[in-house]
Chain A
């Protein structure tokens, strides 16, 4: 089945130690998104790629960066994680056309020690 896969499901890192989360898709969608979701809150969009075009949200901290080396893969890099970065990180894809839903992976739960 076509899907969005996030690895790992759980990630533990130390305060200030860089961490990379990965996402892959078999849907061949143009758009890939990264969301941060804290407990009992709505997902918050960090940035997205339309093909190779990177779109950063205005309030996304500089600590968060992303790479999309090809259509299938997208990475979220957190350069110096702080305690406030502990959250669920969700990857999603969409065809990038009107009236099309987004397809989500199961997320990576990031903990900071």
Chain B
């Protein structure tokens, strides 16, 4: 399978703490994307990082990409209860398809 792997599978933290989740993938890519999925809802695109970028920020989100290790990480700083969701990384298989990782379920306790 070409599916990416994410770890941890599940993460529980208190509000205010930082949450870090990691993604590893198998093939060369030109970009990597992160999505959030709230329970019972669709996926929402968070951030896209290109292969020539090493780090990207968006609000409380920080994404890093290491193409030599075929890995990426998503850091959510100062977590809130509303950040409780599943987070998926996704890599393109060709121009118009994505392969999603296995996901990390994040629980943020008030």
Contact = CB atoms under 8 A, between A and B. Distances in A.
Nearest to B102: A42
B33 A101 contact: yes
Given A98-B30, A101-B45, A40 B105 contact: yes
Would you call the interface of chain B mostly helix, strand, loop, or mixed?
A: strand
Contact of B42 (A42, A94, A96, A104): A104
B88 A42 contact: yes
A41 B42 CA distance: 13
A109 B41 CA distance: 10
Interface residues of B, number: 24
Kindly list the 6 A-B residue pairs having the minimum CB-CB distance in the complex, ordered from nearest: A104-B42, A101-B45, A42-B100, A104-B43, A106-B42, A96-B96
11 contacts: A42-B3, A42-B100, A42-B101, A42-B102, A43-B100, A92-B42, A98-B31, A102-B45, A104-B42, A106-B40, A109-B40
